[in-house]
Every structure is written in C-alpha cells, then in structure tokens.
Amino acid sequence: MRRLLAGRLLQGLAVLWVVATLTFVLLHIAPGDPYSYQGDRRVAPEVVAHWRHVYCLDRPLAAQYACYLGSLARGDLGFSISQSRPVREILVDYVPRTLELMSLGLILSFAVGIALGVLEARHRGTFADWGSRGIALFFYSMPDFWLALMLALVFAYWLPIFPISGIENVIAAPTYSGWQRLADHLRHLVLPVTALVLMTCAAIARFQRAAMLDVIRLEFVVAARAKGVSESAITRHHVLRNALLPIITLAGLMLPMLLGGAVLVELVFSWPGMGFITAMAVGSRDYALVTSSVLVTSALVVAGTIAADLLYALADPRVRAK
C-alpha cells in the first residue's frame, strides 16, 4: 500500500511539473503580456517598462522560466498583476468556493447517479428504465454552457425562484444572522450545483446500471434469490456493494470533468471561484495567476485520482495483494 501511494505521488509530481511547464510555455508564446492590454486607457510607456522590469517580463523566456521555477520551489506563486496582490492570497479566496461547488456537485451527482442506476437496473426494460435513461441522456447531451444558461433563464428570470448569480444577496447579506446567511448562501448554490449534477449524473447512472446488471447475473445473487432473500435486500446487500467498485474508478475520472464543468458554471452564474478568476486572468494575460490556477486545478485532479486509486485498493483485496 505504501509503495502504491509513493508511486502515485511521484507520478503526480511529474504530471504537475509537465502541466506547469506546458502552461508556462503556451501562455508566454501567445502574443501579449500582462501589460499589453490596459483597457481603453493609456498608461505611459515608462510606467509599463518599469513594471515589466519588476516582474521579469523584459527577460528572455528561459530566464523567465528559471525565475518561475525558482519561485515555485520556494512556494511563492508570484504576484497577480491584474488583481494587484500575491497569487497565494487570491487562491485562498477563490479555491474554497470552487471546492464547495465541486464537492457538493460531486456528492449529489453520485447520489443521484447511483440511485438512478439502481432504479434502472432493478426495473430494466420497463418504462421507468427507458424514461430515466432518456431524461438523463437528454441533459447529458446538452452543451454545459447552454444548460446552465437555461437553468438561469427559467428558474431565476422567468420563474424567479432562485437568485440569478453570485454567492450571496449582496444587499441584505450583511444584515443576516448566521443561519440566514447560510440559507441565503445555499439558495445561491442551488442552480450552479443543479447544473453540475445534470451534466454528470447521466454518465454515473449508466455506469452504475451496467455494473448492477453484470452483478445481478452472478451465481451468488441467484443463490441468494433461491434462498428466499427479498429483492430489495439482494439489491442493497449483494448487488449494490459489489457494483460500487467501478464507480470508485469513475469518481477519479469525473474530477477533471466536474472541474471543467465548474469553470463554465462559474462563468454563467458569476460564482467567484477558480474558473471565474482563471477566465479573467487569461483575458488579461496574467501569467502568474493563470499558471497557478492551472497548477492548483491539476493538483486537485491528481489528488482526486490518487484518492480514488487508494479507495479502490482498500475496497478490493485483490488490488491490495498485487
């Protein structure tokens, strides 16, 4: 188990280095730098030259890369020029919001996806099976951006049930008590989380259904049924437990997809998280912020994948033995 963990960690570090380098190079070979666009206003050339010098932007690419790796090794993620503060401080503000959105999305996607998969497997071939799969496929096949926009249009604009965007009611929030504030925040989470769940739960449901159908045919299930165990007990205790293993793998694979979805959802619902800030940083060529955001996102995916591998090993003694 330790060797497995050590191996995965080493692989993860290598992936992060490649991601950091690729992001750095791609960003720097794109035309422009953080001072190439100052909106419609003009900043004196000497001021721009001063700041380019301060942030090493007037040096050759290799020197900038060395500068970047050196800072990274010291744990310094750099200074965001568009936000005018250290990147570390920005990440402290924005990463928890994305994690909140993503973890809620992940938990609910799996809860809904597994429940649908079980339902479809138990009632395979019936109207409930076809109906559930059809509806899930309908949402799954929709473009992420469009689905989020439709949710906003229907449930926040035409039927003003939920807030249209943001993380709180900006006017009333300062006057709320702790519980009111939490309730307000949860209301703001409903539409973005729903969008994430609708985008991903269909895939989980299909995986779960297939895994359930594979297990249902196995001999120990037939034996249990022959012993007179009820269908619901068979599903809960025998089929579902054994059909959950592939879902653990899927959880690791779902992380990048959810993070990608979260970027779009954050933009549509103005949820100030990593996607929101990264999109703005790309538009302003904020090198330090973009590279750090990508690095943190990659680290999250790597950590999720390692966690899924470990969980799989814990759940399956055959993997542990290998």
Shortest CB 229 distance to other proteins, Å:
53
Tell me whether residue 124 or residue 185 sits nearer to other proteins (CB atom).
185
Using CB under 8 A as the binding rule, whether residue 83 contacts other proteins is answered as: yes
The region of 27-35, 68-76, 232-240, 289-297 touching other proteins under the rule CB under 8 A is: 27-35
With vertex at residue 100, the alpha carbon angle to CA 34 and CA 275, rounded to the nearest 5 degrees, is: 25
CB neighbours of residue 115 within 10 Å: 15
Under rule CB under 8 A, how many of the chain's residues touch other proteins?
63
Based on the shown chain and the rule CB under 8 A, indicate whether residue 24 belongs to the binding site for other proteins: no
Query: Does 178 contact other proteins by CB under 8 A?
Result: no
Whose CA is closest to 133, among 108, 110, 116, 147? Answer: 116
Closest CB 314 distance from other proteins, rounded Å = 38
| Interacting residue with other proteins among 108, 135, 150, 164 (CB under 8 A) | 164
Kindly state the smallest distance separating residue 244's Cβ from other proteins, in Å.
Answer: 37
Taking CB under 8 A as the rule, does residue 143 contact other proteins? no
Residue 157 token pair: 């604009």
Query: 91, 277 in Cβ contact below 8 A?
Result: no
How far apart (Å, rounded) are the C-alpha atoms in residues 19 and 29?
Answer: 15
Q: Which stretch binds other proteins (CB under 8 A): 46-54, 114-122, 129-137, 223-231?
A: 46-54
Q: 136-174 burial, b if ≥16 CB within 10 A, otherwise e? A: beeebeeebeebbeebbeebbeeeeebbebebebeeeee
Q: Is 55 a binder of other proteins (CB under 8 A)? A: no
The residue among 148, 113, 158, 157 whose CA lies nearest residue 132 is 113
- Letters for 88-107 (x = contact with other proteins by CB under 8 A, - = none) are --x--xx-------------
- CB nearer to other proteins: give 92 or 223: 92
| Binding flag, residue 283, other proteins (CB under 8 A) | yes
- Structure tokens that stand for 262 in this block: 């979260």
Of 141, 6, 123, 87, give the one whose Cα is nearest residue 296: 87
Residue 298: both structure tokens together:
């990659």
Confirm or reject binding of residue 144 to other proteins (CB under 8 A): no
> 200 is written with which tokens?
């991903």
Distance CA 264, CA 275 (A): 7
For position 285 contacting other proteins by CB under 8 A, the verdict is yes
Q: Which residues bind other proteins (CB under 8 A)?
A: 30-33, 36-51, 54, 79, 82-86, 90, 93-94, 152, 156-157, 160, 163-176, 266-273, 276-277, 279-280, 283-285
